[in-house]
Amino acid sequence: MMFNYLDLYRITRLPCAMAGVLLTIGLPAASAWAADPVAVDPPVPDVPTLQSLRGMLPPDPSGTEGGRKVDLMTDYVLNRSAAVLLGKALFWDMEIGSDGSTACASCHFHAGVDHRTTNQINPGQANTNANVSSIFNKPFTASNIPGDVPSYTTKSGGKGGPNYLLKKADFPTHVLADPMDRNSAIVYSTDDVIGSQGVFDANFVKPHQARFDKCIQQPDGIFQVGGINVRRSTGRNAPTVINAAFNVRNFWDGRANNVFNGFSPFGNRDPDAGIFVTSDRSGVATKVRLALKDASAASQAVGPPGSPVEMSCGGRTFADIGRRMLDTLMLKQQRISSTDSVLGPVSGARRPTYRELIKNAFQPRLWNATQQVSLGGAPYTQMEANFPLFFGLAIQLYESTLISDQAPLDAYLQGDHTAMNDQQVQGMNLFLGKGKCISCHGGAELTNAGSRLLFHPRERIERMVMADNLTTLYDNGFYNTGVRPTSEDLALGGSDAWGNPLSFTREYNTVLQGGQIPDPLEVDVCTFEARLSSAIPCDATLKPNVGFRDAVDGAFKTPTLRNIALTGPYFHNGSRATLRQVMEFYNRGGDRRGEDASNTSGFDHPAVNQHNGSNLDPDMTRLNLTPDEVDALVKFMEVGLTDPRVAWERAPFDHPSLVLAQGEKGDENSVGQKPASPKITTRQAQDAEIQLKPVGAEGRPSLEGPLQPFNNDL
């Protein structure tokens, strides 16, 4: 059923399709990245429409293990319900963090995102200019930003930096004299990012059977107040995990691979990845390669627990996490509602250990070895070594239940025209038309990075006419919209730890030049919007010019707009606190400085032979929406796209209790210090904590009300 729906529905870019009537445009022949000519008379595009998400489910992963074909339920999962229970427990358990108080959910507790407001600022560590990447605020003028001004404080005049409490007046973080003119005088601008606080800077020593690992604290030259370490903050805002199981790739830069290797986020790219399996009664487990496609949620899940910023002391392996957690009682520090839709049956006094949960959920061949295995030269049990496999697949199955398909839009599209009022319907029509939102936020999930590409893998690369009128190849679902200069974060334009480009487009270029790539990649040039040839029927054997131009640098994964009212702050850098601020950005055509052919979305990237004056998505033009039209679009997104189960945390969006670090005791000028002890060798701040109560299947009490937008928490 889902496949048929996706076959019928293809996202098209109407403004881009109109560019097909242009004459042939190209760069000088001497250019190594000359643009391919635009084909004449392309086919008339389909008109994009909206679709209900109701009834859609992410596909179960399948692929190969040691060369043989495998699928999730036949070869790995013994009991789906048990695996979902394990996944929910692991996702919410604070003991997964090295400090015993940081869970995956710590950054995804509010409609799948992070709503904390203290100690969330990162100085922009992804900046390609290392001289400024560790400086909070922006006490300098960036030479590559026309008209730039220094920003010595936050927008409200606050000190900013570590342990700063965000205020309404701090947003948006880029302000212009004329809100409708992106090139007007800059009133305020910062390259700082609103991220998510994680852990203190420390190096891993060994796992403890206590609630935390043994680590050696390190002096932190960036995340500190008066020489006292505070928790570090991530360099990008946390995207929602709700509906994330539909994404072909996860993380803003797509590094969470569609293929899960059972070990790390990087799929086939990781040469050391593998799982340990038994095949006979000898008790010996052997290491084999695993490649499960359509499992980017699993790839994403195994990233943060090992991150020295997000959850871990530096140098801790996943097997080390398993060693500490296997005989730990599930969620032993946390309360569970007896009516929890998944965890309720095990909410009593005797909770199972993770070892028991794994045995209930996964096949014995993955954990029943009687002899230890070698991992990185160290001995581990098979169950410890396979802990990332269990962790990733269980959370993938849990997140596959977090599908928000009961928004008013879903009811409206299924024939209930009372589900949205006239203003919201007007906003929906603007979404499809004048607002151009559908161009990037297509499909039932409202993101071009979603399931359409799961079932049409040959469409993962697109060719179109960009904002500078040059034809370009790019990764579908990843766009440069000019939120910040590309030099501040290459995103998809970056590489993995082995030097492979994160971008499918750049991998395709490698193939065209006769090289080898780690990712499975099929490209059908006949699906390109800007065709290589006007011939009908299309010749699928045609290839773009070797060394083609791409629009990859500064491109970020398109987030879903479902439940968008609750998932601020917005954009990869958290620069907007309200949807109205987001619409102001789009209404003026973004924040790039300069002209169409040369602006701050461009980037000179000689390492990949790209010297683009612009990488801008072609739909980033001035929209000229009236105030009433902006109101309608905002109301459509606020009301029409919000699933009330998410807002009220009803099943499947219920959860156990959670203690959250809300910055440190004190403020941005001074913080309270933890008492000295042999375990704390560096000055470390005392956490200020907030407590989330457990919520059962029935949802939040009416007296507490639903979850609120980010701006309401400031």
What pLDDT does residue 533 have?
Answer: 84
Residues whose CB falls within 8 Å of the CB of residue 178, separated by 6 or more in sequence, listed in order: 184, 185
Q: Which residue has the tokens 């169950």?
A: 383
Q: Shortest CA distance to 454 belongs to which of 245, 243, 241?
A: 245
351 phi and psi angles, rounded to 5 deg? -95, 150
| Helix, coil or strand: residue 375 | strand
What pLDDT does residue 220 have?
Answer: 97
Let me know: does 194 contact 238? Beta carbons within 8 Å: no
Distance CA(318)–CA(302), nearest Å, equals: 8
Amino acid occupying residue 47: V
Burial class (CB in 10 A: 0-12, 13-18, 19+), 218: middle
The one-character DSSP state at 686 is: P
- Show me where the domains of the chain are located: 11-47+407-645, 61-113+248-403, 115-236+659-694
Query: Whole-angstrom distance between the N-terminal and C-terminal Cα of the chain?
Result: 44
Low-confidence ranges of the chain (pLDDT < 50): 1-12, 14-45
What is the third-level CATH fold of 11-47+407-645?
Answer: Cytochrome Bc1 Complex; Chain D, domain 2 (1.10.760)
Distance CA(257)–CA(237), nearest Å, equals: 19
Distance CA(227)–CA(218), nearest Å, equals: 12
Helix (H) or strand (E) holding 611: strand 610-612
pLDDT digits (tens, 9 = 90+) for 665-681: 999 999 999 987 766 66
Distance CA(125)–CA(698), nearest Å, equals: 42
Distance CA(415)–CA(392), nearest Å, equals: 38
Distance CA(425)–CA(412), nearest Å, equals: 9
DSSP string for 575-597: -BSSHHHHHHHHHTT-S--B-SS
Long-range contacts of 619-622 (CB under 8 A, 24+ apart): 619/13, 619/15, 619/16, 619/436, 619/439, 619/440, 620/467, 620/481, 620/482, 620/586, 620/589, 620/590, 620/592, 621/15, 621/467, 621/589, 622/180, 622/587, 622/588, 622/589
The encoded tokens of residue 676 equal 């000295």
661 phi and psi angles, rounded to 5 deg? -75, 120
What pLDDT does residue 680 have?
Answer: 63
pLDDT digits (tens, 9 = 90+) for 2-30: 333 333 334 445 433 333 222 222 222 23
Q: What is the pTM of this model?
A: 0.93
Let me know: does 487 contact 127? Beta carbons within 8 Å: yes
What pLDDT does residue 670 have?
Answer: 98
The encoded tokens of residue 221 equal 């030259």
